A and B are shown apart, each in its own frame.
Chain A
Amino acid sequence: MTPASSVLLLTTLTGFGYGLLAWLGILAAFANLPPSPLFVPVAVVVALGFASAGLAASTLHLGHPERAWRAFSQWRSSWLSREGVASLMTYPPALAFAALWWLLGPDAISTRIFGALAAGLGLLTVGCTAMIYASLKPIRQWHNPHTLPDHLIYAIFSGAVLLAALWALWFGAARVLAFAALFAALIAAAAKLAYWRFIDTQKPLVTLASAIGLPDFGPARPLDQPHFTENYILREMGYQIARKHAAKLRRIAACLAFFLPALLAFLAAFGFVPAVTTSAAALSALVGLFVERWLFFAEATHVSTIYYGYGR
């Protein structure tokens, strides 16, 4: 599948935004955040900023962005529509959570309830985004049991590094959160490595013989192509990445997204200029997850390209 930068931005940035919101909401619900009157409201605004930037970017790939409001209507059947509805539903409780924290303080029961609600709806949005991909039967690298948990894990990881950075910049140190970010990075790395191992051992969904309805006629091979220039299908779904680049990009993605942030979080946890190390960790994770998401598309193969003789 051809990686469209608008969709890569959508899934990466909303992961950071809703991941941060989830950490804030859950920690607030269990009264584990410092009672600073401004930190949480500011962090919620940062979270919504990331999420909104991602959602805005996603409209750029539409043929008719001015009709985007119509996408809220088909939540009964469409995960894309559910994503839109869930993202919209996250704003009121998130804003209420920030306002109540500032007005009533962290101990008010309503602050905690809205914090938990915002966290849940944020993660629900991430889950809906993941299900857009996981539900697509023609793409074996997406339609599998890894896609949904992986996206949630990456969102929680990106939220952890972002919260650690904000915390360290605001309060000077973030020992516990740096440990949380470290563990989240290692779990995320394990999930990604397991995913890569899984898609490397997957079999193609169908054979060309089955695709043309003639499984009993022996192996089939293309003879003449229907057209000698590219068409929409080949442009959109025929994207092929050289194996050697895929291997290199996997290493780059794993290092930037998970291992470097883990190392930096480790340093931050032991008090090594936490403001700098956690910020660098968040930046590295942002770039790395963008590469990781690029690969998620570039390595995905669409079964329809088998008609053109693509064999993966």
Chain B
Amino acid sequence: MTSLPLPIPGAKKLGLVIDLDTCVGCHACAVSCKEWNTGGHHAPLPDHDPYGKEPDGVWFNRIHSYETGCGDTSKTVNFPRSCLHCEEPQCVTVCPTGASYKRAEDGIVLVNTDICIGCKLCSWACPYGAREFDEDQGVMKKCTLCIDRIYNENLPAAEREPACVTACPARARHFGDLGDPNSDVSKLVAARRGVDLMPELGYQPTNKYLPPRKTAIPAKPLERQASGGGNALLRLIDKTLSR
């Protein structure tokens, strides 16, 4: 059913917490996601002309870079963008077939590609641009939160997290239960004042983003002041040349 599931008290809300302070914009999460998912739940993902002039394919994760602010307060922000597994996902309710659905037990938003008719309406309903259409198979695809990793008992327990989280070299991605206020991710969000994207649209994303810290690291000036230091000869040369 594409009606949203009734909330189960105490149910998990699995999601990601992405730290915009430490993300270095290396695209490792995006590449790792593509690698896992082209062999996983939604396999294969289109990947046309990958080494040519016009590469084109479906990716569940796209890494943008932005500048914010001006002058001394300006920052470069690397910004990974993927499905936020919203609590009010309009992509689910607009689906005419029941292919797009939100799981009651953990909140993951998925597509059943066996019954998807490929009308693309769900991608129109997503303000985050998180869904990408598979032109080869004629169905919609999206982030599964690596549902085939996080519950996969064939993997060592430490690897039962989304591929993007495992891959991140800066530890900027965290996975956990955001419905449990005592989980590590919930504590992290509380401590760092995690935010929703486009809160004004009312989709209530599960994934949170941690804003960059506003601290500045004091750095020594790169060049020593010319006056005062050095020996007498250098001071004399400096004086002569400064005329």
A76 at the interface (CB under 8 A from B): yes
* Interface size, A (range): 35 or more
- B200 in complex: contacting residue of A77, A135, A206, A226, CB < 8 Å: A206
Are A74 and B133 in contact, with the CB atoms below 8 A? no
Chain B, interface residues (CB within 8 Å), range: 35 or more
- Name which residue of chain B comes closest to A305, CB basis: B129
The reply to whether B97 and A67 contact each other, CB–CB distance below 8 Å, is yes
Closest A residue to B52 by beta carbon equals: A229
* Min CB gap A131→B, angstroms: 10
Asked if A63 and B64 make an inter-chain contact with CB atoms under 8 angstroms apart, the answer reads no
Alpha-carbon distance between A137 and B93 when the two chains are bound, in angstroms:
12
Distance to closest chain A CB from B66 (angstroms): 5
Q: Are the C-beta atoms of B56 and A132 separated by less than 8 Å?
A: no
Note all chain A residues with C-beta closer than 8 A to B201: 137-138, 205-206, 303
Contacts of A220 in B (CB 8 A): 66-68, 77
B36 contacts the other chain (CB 8 A): no
List chain A residues, Cβ under 8 A from B2.
74, 77-78
| Known A214-B211, A218-B68: A227·B94 in contact at CB below 8 Å | no
* A52-85 contacts to B (CB < 8 Å): 61-65, 67-68, 70-74, 76-81, 84
Q: B30: which A residues are within 8 A, CB to CB? A: 226
Question: Do B127 and A64 have beta carbons less than 8 Å apart?
Answer: no
Q: Does A219 contact B (CB under 8 A)?
A: yes
Minimum Cβ distance to chain B for residue A187 (Å): 29
A214 to B76: give the CA distance in the assembly, Å: 12
- At the interface with chain A, which of B112-120, B164-172, B178-186, B234-242? B112-120
Residues 114 to 160 of chain A near chain B (Cβ within 8 Å): 132, 135-139
B37 proximal to A (CB < 8 A): no
State how many angstroms separate the Cβ of B99 from the closest Cβ of chain A. Answer: 8
- Contact B94 A206, beta carbon cutoff 8 Å: no
A226 touches which of B57, B64, B135 (Cβ 8 Å) = B64
- Please pick, from B56, B73, B93, the residue contacting A231 in the complex, using a CB distance under 8 A: B56
- Chain B binding site: helix, strand, loop or mixed by DSSP? loop
Interface residues of A in 191-247 (CB under 8 A from B): 205-206, 208-214, 216-227, 229-233, 236-237
Interface centre among B63, B68, B76, B134, by most chain A C-beta atoms within 10 angstroms, is B68
Q: Which residues of A contact B65 (CB under 8 A)?
A: 222-224
Are A77 and B139 in touch, CB under 8 angstroms?
no
Is A62 a contact of B117 with CB atoms below 8 Å? yes
Tell whether, in the assembled complex, residue A230 and residue B125 are in contact, meaning their CB atoms are under 8 Å apart: no
Given the complex of chains A and B, what is the CA–CA distance between A225 and B81 in angstroms? 12
Provide the bound-state CA to CA distance between A61 and B126, in Å. Answer: 19
* Residue A296 is within 8 A (CB to CB) of chain B in the complex: no
Shortest C-beta distance, A137 to chain B (Å), equals: 6
**Distance (Å) between the CB of A193 and the closest chain B CB?**
26
Please, how many angstroms separate the alpha-carbon atoms of A104 and B128 in the complex? 57
Residues of B within 8 A of A1 (CB): 124
Closest Cβ of chain A to B223, distance in Å, is 29
Could you tell me the distance between the alpha carbons of A194 and B154 in the complex, rounded to whole angstroms?
A: 61
Q: Are A224 and B62 in contact (CB under 8 A)?
A: no
Q: How far is the CB of B209 from chain A (nearest CB, A)?
A: 4
The 8 Å CB contact of A78, one of B62, B74, B93, B133, is: B93
Residues on the B chain within 8 Å of A208, using CB: 66
Binds A, one of B7-15, B143-151, B191-199: B191-199
Residue of A nearest to B114 (CB): A67
Query: Which of A205, A206, A213 contacts B195 (CB under 8 A)?
Result: A213
Residue ID in chain A nearest B18 by CB atoms: A213
Bound-state Cα–Cα, A263 to B99, Å: 48
Distance in angstroms from B215 CB to nearest chain A CB is 14
Contact A79 to B124, CB < 8 A, known contacts A137-B201, A205-B201, A223-B66 = no
Asked whether B69 lies within 8 Å of A218 as measured between CB atoms, the reply is: yes
A175 at the interface (CB under 8 A from B): no
- Whether the Cβ atoms of A209 and B68 lie closer than 8 Å is yes
Contacts A231-B132, A236-B133: A74 and B64 contacting too (C-beta < 8 A)?
Answer: no
Known pairs A71-B117, A307-B129; A218 contacts B70 (CB<8 A): yes
Q: Which residues of A contact B (CB under 8 A)?
A: 1, 61-65, 67-68, 70-74, 76-81, 84, 132, 135-139, 205-206, 208-214, 216-227, 229-233, 236-237, 302-305, 307-308
User: Can you identify 26 A-B contacts, CB atoms within 8 angstroms?
Assistant: A62-B118, A63-B118, A64-B117, A67-B116, A70-B117, A77-B1, A78-B95, A132-B94, A132-B121, A136-B90, A137-B90, A137-B202, A206-B201, A208-B66, A213-B209, A217-B77, A217-B212, A221-B67, A223-B67, A225-B64, A226-B64, A226-B81, A304-B128, A304-B129, A307-B128, A307-B129
